[in-house]
Chains A and B, each alone.
Chain A
């Protein structure tokens, strides 16, 4: 009897461990489709045109949020994307790279256009209106907030990830701010190569 209870107890332990492991790995998975990252947008661009996410379909794109009053993270990300585009060379010709400002108040189209001349010309700046901004940020689960400073000025806190979207406009992965350039390049090459499943 005692032995049976013991076996039962151990079996319970095994189930608990297996269950916990499954739960843990599920919890670590990327968001399920219902929580999908990405969504349609139509935004004014630094090129003077409008960028429509529908028209981006057929080519993968990388998109990130930032602002020009950003001392380091945003210029560094733009710089790193420029370097990556340079390294990809012709292999990267299909890739669209978009920089969406979370500070439309200060970042006008003209200002973004001149600011972006410091980077690879393939990077396009997008300026949502203050009304459009919450929608596009929500679609990408991107966080942003305006932070007042003691002198009356303000700064922005924001998500610093680069979102990689495949040819259908489906979330493919992210580039992380802390990653090494080689890792970023590998991910971009994968996006260009594999990001065309179910391609039309």
Chain B
């Protein structure tokens, strides 16, 4: 009897864990590419631009390139590089797109490469999502949802 009770609890916990992971998973596939967790830190009031972050893993044998991003929230969207060197921030267009090497992972992240949403039409609401299309040179186009998270985003976990 005790064993059955334990089993029931174990099964319930497993199901719960599975459902939670399903709810948290925020992945997309495009050919051999896996796209993980597209998100954006909520831009300030009135901001005309927002950054988009995501992780792309290329499970294929050929390099690919993220050549374009489009979203209805922005008048135009580009893929940008960014560097902070000797205290100076520089940002630039990635000509020819962002290479996703065969077997490699590229992270568009804070203080680095990012999707740049420009001429924002409205302020994305925190907790909401918005649609965007990523276009790769070989893998083609894939529709994704960007989640709007708190400003400061991942860095806030350091205990701000």
Query: B78 contacts which chain A residues (CB < 8 A)?
Result: 149
Q: Is B76's CB under 8 angstroms from A151's CB?
A: yes
Q: Is B114's CB under 8 angstroms from A75's CB?
A: no
Q: Is B48's CB under 8 angstroms from A69's CB?
A: yes
CA of A71 to CA of B47, assembled, Å:
9
Min Cβ gap A134→B in Å is 16
Q: Which of A69-118 contact B (CB under 8 A)?
A: 69-73, 75-76, 78-80, 83, 87, 111, 114-118
- Segment from A10-18, A25-33, A43-51, A177-185 that makes contact with B: A177-185
Q: Is A149's CB under 8 angstroms from B93's CB?
A: yes
With both beta carbons as reference points, the residue of chain B lying nearest to A160 in the complex is identified as: B89
Q: Is A181's CB under 8 angstroms from B158's CB?
A: yes
Residue in contact with A72 in the complex, picked from B88, B93, B114, B156, CB distance below 8 Å: B114
With both beta carbons as reference points, the residue of chain B lying nearest to A86 in the complex is identified as: B160
Query: B93 contacts which chain A residues (CB < 8 A)?
Result: 149-150
Chain A: interface size category = 35 or more
Q: Does A68 make an interface contact (CB < 8 A)?
A: yes
Q: Is B44's CB under 8 angstroms from A75's CB?
A: yes
Q: Does B155 make an interface contact (CB < 8 A)?
A: yes
Most buried by B among A75, A151, A181: A75
Q: Which of B47-100 contact A (CB under 8 A)?
A: 47-51, 76, 78, 80, 82, 84, 87-93
Query: B156 contacts which chain A residues (CB < 8 A)?
Result: 83
* Count of chain B residues near A, Cβ 8 A: 34
Min Cβ gap A78→B in Å is 7
Q: Does A143 make an interface contact (CB < 8 A)?
A: yes
Q: Which of A136-168 contact B (CB under 8 A)?
A: 143, 147, 149-151, 153, 155, 157-161
Q: Does A41 make an interface contact (CB < 8 A)?
A: no
Query: A177 contacts which chain B residues (CB < 8 A)?
Result: 84, 87, 89, 111
With both beta carbons as reference points, the residue of chain A lying nearest to B109 in the complex is identified as: A72
CA of A149 to CA of B80, assembled, Å:
11
Q: Does A52 make an interface contact (CB < 8 A)?
A: no
CA of A26 to CA of B80, assembled, Å:
38
Query: A180 contacts which chain B residues (CB < 8 A)?
Result: 158
CA of A199 to CA of B49, assembled, Å:
42
Most buried by A among B76, B88, B93: B88
Query: A147 contacts which chain B residues (CB < 8 A)?
Result: 90-92
Query: B151 contacts which chain A residues (CB < 8 A)?
Result: 75-76, 79, 118
Most buried by A among B111, B114, B158: B111
CA of A94 to CA of B151, assembled, Å:
26
Q: Is A71's CB under 8 angstroms from B84's CB?
A: no
CA of A76 to CA of B87, assembled, Å:
15
Q: Does B35 make an interface contact (CB < 8 A)?
A: no
Q: Does B152 make an interface contact (CB < 8 A)?
A: yes
Q: Is A119's CB under 8 angstroms from B48's CB?
A: no
Min Cβ gap B96→A in Å is 12
Q: Is B87's CB under 8 angstroms from A114's CB?
A: no
> CB within 8 Å of A: which residues of B?
41, 43-51, 76, 78, 80, 82, 84, 87-93, 110-111, 114, 116, 118, 151-152, 155-156, 158-160
Sample of 10 A–B contacts (CB below 8 Å): A71-B51, A71-B114, A75-B44, A76-B110, A115-B45, A116-B44, A149-B78, A159-B87, A159-B88, A180-B158
